[in-house]
Every structure is written in C-alpha cells, then in structure tokens.
Structure 1
Amino acid sequence: MAQRARFKANRKGIGKILTSRQMQAEMERRARAVQDRCIANAPEDTGSYKSSFRIETGIRPGPKPRAVSKVINDDEAAPYVEWGSSRTPRYRVMGRAAGAE
C-alpha cells in the first residue's frame, strides 16, 4: 500500500504570505477593479464625488495581520450618494461595485 501524503501547515509562513508585498499588490489590483466600477457607475452632478475615489493599501494591524486595500470616497456627499436621504435617491455605487466581483 502506498504512503499517504501528509501536510503540516506552517502558521508563521502562512502569516508571512498573507502580509507579503505580493498579497498587498493583489489586494490593490482588486481594489482598483472596484474603484473602476465605482467611477463608471457614479452619478455626475458636479463631478466632485466621481473624482474623490482613492485606494489605501497596507497591513491590517492586530493579532491576525493581513494585507488590505480599501476603496474610499471622502467627498462630503458620499454618504448621501451611497445611502440616500429624504431628498436624494440611494445609488449604492460602492456597494454594487464591491458586490459585482
């Protein structure tokens, strides 16, 4: 009978992979795809909202650090565009863009 292959995970090694430059680059690539969809679907009233998207990439701190990238829109109208208000329709630009992947 043939021997079965065995695998023993090296948790420190896996942690290094999850915080590596290559993983950060992959997270940023995915965030850029989300950002592109956000820009394509953003309403154009003044253009301020559409031009305010940016990406932050880094390592999430804490007991289980991971590579992360965030798509951020810091325009003052961003919450109203995303969730709407009594006078503004709900567009959900970022929510739809993130869910499309």
Structure 2
Amino acid sequence: MRDAKFRMSKRGVGQLLRSEQVEAEMLRRANVIKGVAESIAPVGGAGDPHPGQYKASFYVTSRKRGGRRRDRAVAAVGNSAPYARWIEFGTETVRAHHVLLRATRVGGR
C-alpha cells in the first residue's frame, strides 16, 4: 500500500481564499453578527433625541481582497451612528455596552 501525499499549491489556496464561496460565507457570518447586534442594541429612552438610530445604523460590507495582506475574502460589521464609538467603548460617565463584541461572541460561530 502506498502512502498518500499532498502537495499544497499556494496559488490554489490563494484562489480559494478569494473565491465567491468564501466571500459568501464571510458575508453570511457577518449578517448573523449584525442580526445579533441589532437585537441587543440599546435604544434611547425619553431623553434621547434620536431613539433607535444606533440600532438602525448597523451595516455589513464585504470584499474579495481584505485582511492584513489583502489576500483573502473578508466581511465586516459596523455602525454608522455618529456616537457608535461611545456606545461600544463607553465614556467616563457612560458604561460601555460592547454591542459588537458581544454579538461577535454569540453570532460568529
């Protein structure tokens, strides 16, 4: 019986990482994370001039060439509300909500 051998093609792996299938899977995962983030996002109370704006401002982007070396398909979830940074990380007077961090832990599987 002969031993099986595998020879990896770096070019082939690169093509796989940039393929439509990998981008579609990254996009699927990002949309799951977005859904979780929307479900746990805080909505302002009576004093909020824009209640629900943060929750409605999540978005997903994807591209075939991303990552540190721009060699793989990636997808990202973000929030375009002007104050999203302070909701995620908090301030000296407002606690951090870590919405995207928590959503990634739940939905990133």
Normalising by structure 2, we get a TM-score of 0.86
Shift of 1:63: 4.4
Structure ranking higher on relative contact order (CA contacts 8 Å, 6+ apart): 2
Whole-angstrom distance in 1 between the partners of 2:16 and 2:70: 12
Which residue type is aligned with residue 77 of structure 1?
Y
Give 2:14's aligned residue.
15
Match runs of 1:78-97 below 5 Å: 78-97=84-103
Structure 1, unaligned stretches of length 5 or more?
A: none
Give 1:51's aligned residue.
56
Give 2:66's aligned residue.
60
Give 1:77's aligned residue.
83
Aligned length: 100
Shift of 1:77: 1.2
Give 2:37's aligned residue.
38
Change (3 A) 1:39 1:63: closer
RMSD, aligned CA: 1.4
Normalising by structure 1, we get a TM-score of 0.92
Matched residues, percent identical?
A: 31
Give 1:3's aligned residue.
2
Runs (4+) of structure 1 exceeding 2 A deviation are 61-64
Structure 2, unaligned stretches of length 5 or more?
A: 45-50
Shift of 1:64: 5.2
Whole-angstrom distance in 1 between the partners of 2:84 and 2:76: 15
Shift of 1:83: 0.7
